[in-house]
C-alpha cells in the first residue's frame, strides 16, 4: 500500500497549527502522524489563520453521524488532476442511495478518492467514513479508537469507464511484484552512505560478451542509457563492485574493462578486507554488510565497524589539521600581501606630502586569499579618507586617470589622463580635498 507523504505537498507547502495539518485536500491531526512526517510538517512555518478558518468545517464534519465506511470496490488508473495535471489512481465506492418510491429504481452514487490518500489513512491504522450521501462533501477520518482525526475531500467528477475491480487490481499488483522479484537479483550497494539490499533488474555480462567466463558478473539492465553499476555474484548476494559508463557498451570494451573481475571471489573480498584492517585503510558499510550476510561472527563484524570508525576519525582529524594549516598559510599570505599594499600606500602618501609625482597604479587589498579587491591607488585613498566621489567620477579615476603631480609653475596639484577619454570636470575638486586631508594627517603626526 504505497504512498509518498511529501508528495501531498508538491504544489503547496503544509498549512498547519499545533493540532492539524492540511494541503487543501486532506486535513489530519498531527498527533497521529509518524515521527518523520511530523518533523517534515514542523519544518514549515505555522499558519494559525488558515487553520482557524477551517475550524467550522472540522466541527461540522466531526458532529455528523457516520453512515458507512468507505470500502473501495473499483479503481481507475491514471486519472489526470484538473488543477495540477498530475496523474493518480482513483478508488471508487458504489453505494445505493435508497428507494425514493415503491416503483422507482435504486439510485447509485459513486464516491471516488485518491488512492495515495487512502493508503496513507490505512497506514495510520485509521478508517474513512461517508457521513452523508453527497459526493462533494468531505469524508470523515477516524482512528482505531473511533475518534475523529480529520477529513478528506472526494473527487468531484469522475467518469466510470475503464475501471477495474479493486480486489483484482491488488492481486494483479502482488503478482507483478512477485514476478519482478523473481526476475530480479538481490543486490548489495551503497546509497546515501548506507548499505542497501534491494532487488534490481540485471543482465548477465556473459550474455552480453558471449563469454561464459564472465558469468558471475552482472550489470544494470538499462546500462546503455546512462551507464550502470556492475555486480559480482557471491551466490547469496550480488555485490556492487564496478561501473560501466554509457559509452562502455561494446562487448570487447566491456570484456577489457571487467577482465580483472571475472574470477573475483568472496575469498578475494575477504583478503581485501584483511589488508584494509592491517594497513589502516577504509572499509565501507557495504563491505561490512557483505561479511555480515556471509555469516561472519558478531565479534568480527564489530571489529570491522570499529575499524571503519577509527579510519573515519583519523581522516577527519587529518582533514581538520590540513584545513587549519591551510587557513594559517592563507592568513600569513594575506598578512604579507596587505603589508606590501600598506607600504605602497604610505609611500604614495609621503610622495604627496613631498609634492612628488604619483602614478595611478593598481593596488590589491585582501580579505582572504581568494577574496580581494583591486583598485586604483588614487580612488582607494579617496575612499580611505571618506571623500564621497560620484560613481561616474569613480569610473573615470579607474579608467582615465594616469597620474597626479605638483605643478611648480602654477603652485598647485594637477593631473594627466589618457587621451582615449574625455577630461573630468569635477575630479580636480576631489583631488584638492584628498591632498588637503593627507597633508593634515602628516602635519598632526609631525
Per-residue model confidence as pLDDT tens digits over 8-21? 998 888 999 999 99
Cβ atoms of 152 and 122 within 8 Å: the answer is: no
Domain count of the fold of the chain: 3
What is the DSSP code string of 296-356?
A: --HHHHHHHHHHHHHHHHHHHHHHHHHHHHHHHHHHHHHHHHHHHHHHHHHHHHHHHHTT-
Do 22 and 11 contact (CB within 8 A), yes or no? no
Q: How many CB atoms lie within 10 A of CB 380?
A: 20
Cα separation, 163 vs 75, whole angstroms: 5
C-alpha distances in Å from residue 157, one per residue of 118, 154, 199, 225, 273: 18, 9, 39, 40, 61
Whether residue 92 sits in one domain with residue 117 = yes
pLDDT at residue 362 greater than cutoff 90: yes
> What is the per-residue pLDDT for 207?
93
Using the predicted structure, report yes or no on whether residue 112 has a pLDDT greater than 60. Answer: yes
Q: How far is CA 35 from CA 30, 95, 116, 211, 444, in A?
A: 10, 36, 19, 51, 69
Classify residue 81: in a domain, yes or no.
yes
Residues 71 and 193 in one domain: no
Residues 11 and 159 in one domain: yes
- What residue numbers bound the domain in which 133 lies? 5-169
Residue 403: name the closest of 366, 433, 358, 442 by CA.
358
Mean pLDDT of 160-176: 89
**Residue 201 sits in the same domain as residue 149:** no
Residues 158 and 11 in one domain: yes
- Answer yes or no: is pLDDT of 211 > 80: yes
Kindly state whether residues 48 and 85 are assigned to the same domain: yes
Residue 419 domain-assigned (yes or no): yes
- Domain end point (choices 293, 327, 360): 293
User: Which CB contacts under 8 angstroms, 24+ apart, belong to 17-26?
Assistant: 17/46, 17/47, 17/48, 17/51, 17/52, 18/46, 19/51, 20/51, 20/54, 20/58, 20/150, 22/51, 22/54, 25/114, 25/117, 25/152, 25/153, 26/117, 26/120, 26/150, 26/151, 26/152, 26/153
Query: Domain check: are 21 and 98 in the same one?
Result: yes
Averaged pLDDT score across all residues of the chain: 89
pTM of the model: 0.50
Among 143, 169, 195, which residue terminates a domain? 169
Is residue 318 in a domain? no
- What are the CA-CA distances from residue 276 to residues 187, 240, 270, 304 (Å)? 23, 18, 10, 10
Residues 15 and 134 in one domain: yes
* 179, part of any domain: no
Q: What is the DSSP string of 119-171?
A: HHHHHTT-EEEE-SS-TTSPEEEE-TTS-EEEEEPPPS----TT-EEHHHHHH
Residue 300 lies in a domain: no
Least confident among 47-61, 73-87, 213-227, 431-445 = 47-61
Whether residues 69 and 162 share a domain: the answer is yes
Same domain, 383 and 356: yes
Contact between 345 and 381 under an 8 Å Cβ cutoff? The reply is yes
Angle at 307 between CA 303 and CA 312, to 5 degrees: 150
* 319-331 average pLDDT score: 94
pLDDT of residue 194: 93
What is the average per-residue pLDDT within 106-115?
A: 74
Residue 14 lies inside a defined structural domain of this protein = yes
Task: Please indicate, yes or no, if residue 153 is contained in any of the structural domains.
Answer: yes
Domain limit, last residue, from 169, 200, 228: 169
Confirm whether 325 is domain-assigned.
Answer: no
Please state the rounded mean pLDDT for residues 320-331.
94
Burial of 437 (0-12, 13-18, 19+ CB in 10 A): middle
Check whether residue 154 and residue 27 sit in a common domain. yes
Same domain membership, residue 20 and residue 150: yes
β-pairing, 358-359 vs 371-376, is unpaired
Amino acid at each position: 500500500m504505497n504512498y509518498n507523504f511529501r508528495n501531498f505537498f508538491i504544489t503547496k507547502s503544509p498549512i498547519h497549527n499545533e493540532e492539524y495539518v492540511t494541503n487543501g485536500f486532506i486535513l489530519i491531526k498531527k498527533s497521529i502522524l509518524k515521527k518523520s512526517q511530523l518533523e517534515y510538517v514542523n519544518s514549515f512555518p505555522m499558519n494559525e489563520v488558515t487553520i482557524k478558518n477551517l475550524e467550522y468545517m472540522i466541527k461540522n464534519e466531526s458532529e455528523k453521524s457516520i453512515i458507512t465506511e468507505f470500502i473501495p470496490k473499483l479503481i481507475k488508473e491514471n486519472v489526470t488532476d484538473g488543477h495540477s495535471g498530475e496523474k493518480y489512481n482513483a478508488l471508487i465506492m458504489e453505494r445505493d442511495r435508497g428507494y425514493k418510491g415503491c416503483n422507482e429504481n435504486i439510485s447509485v452514487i459513486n464516491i471516488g478518492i485518491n488512492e495515495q490518500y487512502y493508503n496513507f489513512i490505512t497506514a495510520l491504522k485509521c478508517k474513512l467514513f461517508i457521513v452523508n450521501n453527497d459526493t462533494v462533501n468531505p469524508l470523515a477520518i477516524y482512528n482505531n479508537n473511533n475518534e475523529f482525526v480529520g477529513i478528506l475531500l472526494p473527487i468531484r467528477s469522475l467518469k466510470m469507464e475503464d475501471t477495474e475491480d479493486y480486489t483484482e487490481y491488488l492481486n494483479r499488483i502482488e503478482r507483478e511484484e512477485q514476478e519482478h522479484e523473481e526476475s530480479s537479483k538481490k543486490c548489495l550497494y551503497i546509497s546515501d552512505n548506507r548499505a542497501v539490499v534491494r532487488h534490481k533488474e540485471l543482465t548477465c555480462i556473459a550474455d552480453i560478451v558471449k563469454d561464459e567466463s564472465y558469468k558471475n558478473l552482472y550489470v544494470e539492465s538499462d546500462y546503455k542509457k546512462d551507464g550502470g553499476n556492475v555486480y559480482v555474484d557471491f551466490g547469496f548476494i550480488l555485490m556492487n563492485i564496478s561501473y560501466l559508463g554509457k559509452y562502455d557498451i561494446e562487448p570487447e570494451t566491456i570484456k577489457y574493462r571487467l577482465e580483472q573481475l571475472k574470477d573475483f571471489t568472496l575469498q578475494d573480498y575477504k583478503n581485501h578486507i584483511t589488508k584494509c584492517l592491517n594497513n589502516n585503510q577504509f572499509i565501507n558499510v557495504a563491505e561490512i554488510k557483505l561479511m555480515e550476510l556471509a555469516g561472519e561472527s558478531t565479534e568480527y563484524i564489530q571489529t570491522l565497524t570499529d575499524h571503519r570508525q577509527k579510519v573515519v576519525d583519523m581522516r577527519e582529524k587529518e582533514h581538520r589539521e590540513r584545513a587549519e594549516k591551510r587557513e594559517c598559510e592563507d592568513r600569513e599570505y594575506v598578512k604579507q600581501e596587505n603589508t606590501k599594499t600598506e607600504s605602497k600606500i604610505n609611500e604614495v602618501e609621503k610622495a604627496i606630502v613631498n609634492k612628488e609625482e604619483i602614478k595611478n597604479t593598481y593596488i590589491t587589498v585582501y580579505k582572504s586569499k581568494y577574496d580581494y579587491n583591486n583598485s586604483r591607488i588614487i580612488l582607494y585613498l579617496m575612499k580611505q579618507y571618506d571623500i564621497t566621489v560620484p560613481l561616474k567620477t569613480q569610473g573615470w579615476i579607474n579608467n582615465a586617470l594616469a597620474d597626479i603631480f605638483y605643478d611648480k609653475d602654477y603652485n598647485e596639484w594637477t593631473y594627466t589622463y589618457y587621451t582615449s577619454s574625455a577630461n573630468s570636470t569635477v575630479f580636480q575638486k576631489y583631488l584638492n580635498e584628498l591632498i588637503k586631508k593627507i597633508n593634515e594627517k602628516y602635519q598632526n603626526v609631525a
